[in-house]
Amino acid sequence: MLTELRAYGYRCDMDMMERSFKAQFKAVDRAKAKLAILIGKSELEEKKVTVKNIAHKEQETISVDELIPYVDSLLEEESHHHHEHEGE
């Protein structure tokens, strides 16, 4: 999944230290990440991922096959929103 995201030009990282969610989200904040992709045991079994939009504090569980288009749409939305405010 990381390889595929990187192939589409996304910078991404994975926590390999099995830290708590709290510690992992601190790392997300430090990295100023826009999204976090959560993959737990149930997601693995169902071939799904949970995508958390950090800025909007919203999350949605989607199929792995939908990941790239979903991330594209979220970040495109974020980019348009950011550009709208630059001219103010």
Supply 64's token pair: 């792995």
User: In terms of DSSP H, where are the helices of 1-88?
Assistant: 2-7, 21-30, 41-46, 67-86
20: three-class secondary structure by DSSP: coil
pTM, entire model: 0.79
Average the pLDDT over 5-19 and give the result: 87
- 13-64 pLDDT, tens digit per residue, is 888 878 888 898 898 989 999 999 999 889 999 999 999 999 889 999 999 9
